[in-house]
Amino acid sequence: MAVRTMIIDPQVLRSLHRSELRKRILLYLNEIYPSATYLSEIARVVGSDPSNVRGALVGLGNRYNGESSLVYLGLVEEITNGGFKYYRLTEYGKQVVEYLREYYRYYRKFM
């Protein structure tokens, strides 16, 4: 079996390790990939307030750093259609989810 090398930006890992909400959003969007969905649907599924989800997706003032947001990091894309905004996991986002699953599977052995 060939081992595939995946290079993940350390800023991406730091952002995800610091926010359980960003991880939950990423995992949900991975489940529905390649479909896109809207902010309030994401909030309902991950069990969080829409303003917090918006902050995790695109940043929101001082509370959510835009440079740590899922869209800024290239993990999620924002699609505008008919005046509405939808969010979908990017290919890079899919790779990061795959990496995280392997990472946690490996480290679970030691816990």
Q: What is the pLDDT of residues 91-104, one digit of tens each?
A: 999 999 999 888 87
Q: Which pLDDT value is given to residue 65?
A: 80
Name the pTM for this structure: 0.88
Count of residues making up the chain = 111
Q: What is the pLDDT of residues 63-79, one digit of tens each?
A: 778 889 999 999 999 99
The CATH class that applies to domain 20-108 reads mainly alpha
Q: Which pLDDT value is given to residue 11?
A: 92
Average confidence (pLDDT) over 10-27: 94
Tokens of 88: 């979908």
Closest to 23 measured CA to CA, from 95, 106, 86, 97: 97
Integer Cα distance of 108 and 98 in angstroms: 16
Domain ranges for the chain: 20-108
Which residue type occupies 32? I
Q: What is the pLDDT of residues 25-50, one digit of tens each?
A: 999 999 999 999 999 999 999 999 99
Instruction: Locate the DSSP E strands across the chain.
Output: 37-38, 76-81, 84-89
